[in-house]
Amino acid sequence: MNKKLHIIGGGLAGSEAAWQAANAGIAVTLYEMRPMRGTDAHISEWLGELVCSNSFRSDDAQTNAVGLCHAELRDMDSLIMKAADAHKLPAGTALAVDREGFAQTITKHITAHPNITLHRQEVEAIPDDGAPVIIATGPLTSPALSAAIAVHVGDKLAFFDAIAPILYHDSIDMDICWWQSRYDKGKDYINCPMDETQYNDFIDALLAGDKTDFKEWEEDTPYFNGCLPIEVMAARGRETLRHGPMKPRGLTNEHAPTIKPYGVVQLRQDNALGTLFNMVGFQTKLKHGSQTQIFKTIPGLADARFARLGGLHRNTFLNSPSLLDRFLRLKSAPHIRFAGQITGVEGYVESTAIGLMAGKFAAYELAGQTPTLPPATTAFGALLAHITGDGDASTFQPMNINFGLMPPLKTITKYITEKKRGVKKQNRKLTLTNRARKDFADWQTTLPL
């Protein structure tokens, strides 16, 4: 009990990290600023408060990547999953919880743990007494601590996300789209062509689409030049997008070389595996239903499957792929680890998974042991790899867990996709999750005791 660890933030990630490290015999000091100081979204003093929906999304571990992540969390004795399962509500295949019972259970377990000391205080400076620190202060990290973090990371700490939709490579119809960079400077982009009628219909749909309102405290969200929401650009004039992200210049459609496209949507590779592509310049505040409906009208995307849809929110997060090592430590100051949504994952489940790994990694390190990393074929491994190096740092935005982060079943090339090889969707998911479950169990056997 002479090994000490500071954990800042008693949300989902911080509570999970504290539980894991404390169970490994580490003396954890956990700092939570509520109720002394609130955030714009939390309303209680409970640890692990869910700030919005009461759903942990799909609990189906066979055909859903979020459900798979639930299973891996349960395998690792997750406190958050224990509390969620204890307060489960009827919600079909989703895992929805009674939020008060859930948060109270987490608080009870943390405060009763003999190895955890809870301090209700805002941390304004990163502790520097020689003990390692995990920062898990989430999307609404207090301004004073944000400033202290910025001393280490400079402008690589963002306060708003601006997310363009990301889709699965194998759901793009390459009989309509083609590979080409503008002015033939390589073949790095997939291009979706539109004629004049399709372009005008698309603009009308953007203007008419349902938009999400900002919350009152988000209304000062800045629209940065260069990343305006597409519907805002469309509202500035019908031609604005044709002179911005949808400009057709420097491109020749290889399927119809003599016909000049009127507008082009470009897709750019988003992960090292080449399984995910983002829609370049398509950050948006359209409601998710409208996004799916409107973006599927883009030629070549009629069957698109989206790994995540676009959004714009208040969100404090790091450019993790450039800042963190594979064990979630700041490369420039390895005694500082990050966990939860501040690492650039998105969502309750993902934040918990990163919290769990941060707590375990810190405990192993304090015990002088080096664990192996979870394989990228598992939900834990895929998420961890994405934020600690595999995600593209130049376009990095928060990410949910999805199958596109995992190595595909067969090596895909730019031209031959699993779809074309006839691997059925449902089979593919089942094969991916079976592979993940086996690899996760194998990985657990490699962990030091």
- Phi, psi dihedral angles at 196 (to 5 degrees): -65, -40
CA 449 to chain centre: 30
C-beta closer to ligand FAD: residue 144 or 256 = 144
The distance of closest approach from Cβ of residue 277 to ligand FAD in the complex, given in angstroms and rounded to an integer, is 24
Distance CA 78, CA 399 (A): 21
Shortest Cβ distance from residue 202 to ligand FAD (Å)?
29
Nearer residue to ligand FAD within complex by CB, 57 or 169: 57
How near is the Cβ of 141 to ligand FAD at its closest, in Å? 5
Of 20, 107, 142, 283, the one binding ligand FAD by CB under 6 A: 142
Residue 109's alpha-carbon distances to 18, 33, 48, 116, 122, in angstroms, are: 11, 18, 11, 10, 21
As a dihedral over the C-alpha atoms of residue 297, residue 301, residue 307, residue 310, rounded to 10 degrees, the angle is -40
Question: Least CB distance from residue 158 to ligand FAD, whole Å?
Answer: 14
- Of the candidate residues 94, 134, 136, 194, the single one contacting ligand FAD (CB under 6 A): 136
- At 39 the three-state DSSP class reads coil
**Smaller CB separation from ligand FAD, 269 or 400:** 400
**Which range of residues in 84-92, 257-265, 334-342, 433-441 is near ligand FAD by CB under 6 A?**
334-342
Q: Site for ligand FAD (CB under 6 A): how many residues?
A: 33
Of these, 95, 140, 264, 273, which contacts ligand FAD (CB under 6 A)? 140
Closest alpha carbon to 133 in 321, 337, 408: 337
Report the C-alpha gap between 355 and 193 in whole angstroms.
43
Token duo for residue 168: 């699965």
Task: Look up residue 116 and give its amino acid.
Answer: I
Quickly tell me which residue has 């690899």 as its tokens: 439
Asked if 338 is part of the footprint of ligand FAD (rule: CB under 6 A), the reply reads no
Q: Closer CB to ligand FAD, residue 145 or residue 432?
A: 145
Smallest gap, in angstroms, from Cβ of residue 308 to ligand FAD?
Answer: 12
Q: Decide: is 123 part of the binding site for ligand FAD (CB under 6 A).
A: yes
The DSSP bridge partners found for residue 96 are: 55, 89
Convert residues 170-199 into a mask of x (bound to ligand FAD by CB under 6 A) and - (unbound).
------------------------------
In the chain, the amino acid numbered 413 is T
Cβ closest to ligand FAD, residue 8 vs residue 167: 8
Among 100, 122, 195, 201, which residue sits at the site for ligand FAD (rule: CB under 6 A)? 122
What character string, x for contact with ligand FAD (CB under 6 A) and - otherwise, covers 143-162? --x-----------------
Q: Would you tell me how many other CB atoms lie within 10 Å of the CB of residue 89?
A: 14
State phi, psi for 102 to the nearest 5 degrees.
-60, -55
Question: Which distant-in-sequence residues (6+ apart) come within 8 Å of 124 by Cβ?
Answer: 142, 144, 145, 148
By beta-carbon proximity to ligand FAD, the closer residue of 123 and 384 is 123
Which DSSP helix (H) or strand (E) runs through 266? Answer: strand 263-269
Name the H helices within 296-448: 320-323, 348-366, 379-385, 425-446
Q: Which residues pair with 178 in a beta bridge?
A: 191
Q: Which of 17, 282, 20, 23 is nearest to 136 (CA)?
A: 17
Name 13's Cβ contacts closer than 8 Å, sequence gap at least 6: 136, 138, 339, 340, 341, 351, 352, 354, 355, 358
Residue type, 225: N
Q: Residue 211: beta bridge partners?
A: 286
Residue closest to ligand FAD, measured at CB: 11
Please, which of residues 49-88 interact with ligand FAD by CB under 6 A? 51-53
Q: Distance between CA atoms of 148 and 152, rounded to whole angstroms? A: 7
Shortest distance (Å) from residue 306 CB to ligand FAD:
17
Cβ atoms < 10 Å from Cβ of 364: 18
Stretch that binds ligand FAD, among 4-12, 61-69, 224-232, 293-301 (CB under 6 A): 4-12
Convert residues 12-51 into a mask of x (bound to ligand FAD by CB under 6 A) and - (unbound). xxx----------------xxxx----x-xx--------x
Q: In this chain, which stretch among 5-13, 126-134, 276-284, 330-338 interacts with ligand FAD, using CB under 6 A? A: 5-13
Q: Which is nearer to ligand FAD, 94 or 264 (by Cβ)?
A: 94
Taking the C-alpha atoms of residue 306 and residue 292, their distance in angstroms, rounded to an integer, is 8
Residue nearer to ligand FAD on the CB measure, 24 or 318: 318
Closer residue to ligand FAD, CB minimum distance, 298 or 336: 336
Residue 107 or residue 417: which is nearer to ligand FAD going by CB? 107
The site for ligand FAD (CB under 6 A) is made up of 8-14, 31-34, 39, 41-42, 51-53, 122-123, 136-142, 145, 340-342, 347-348, 351
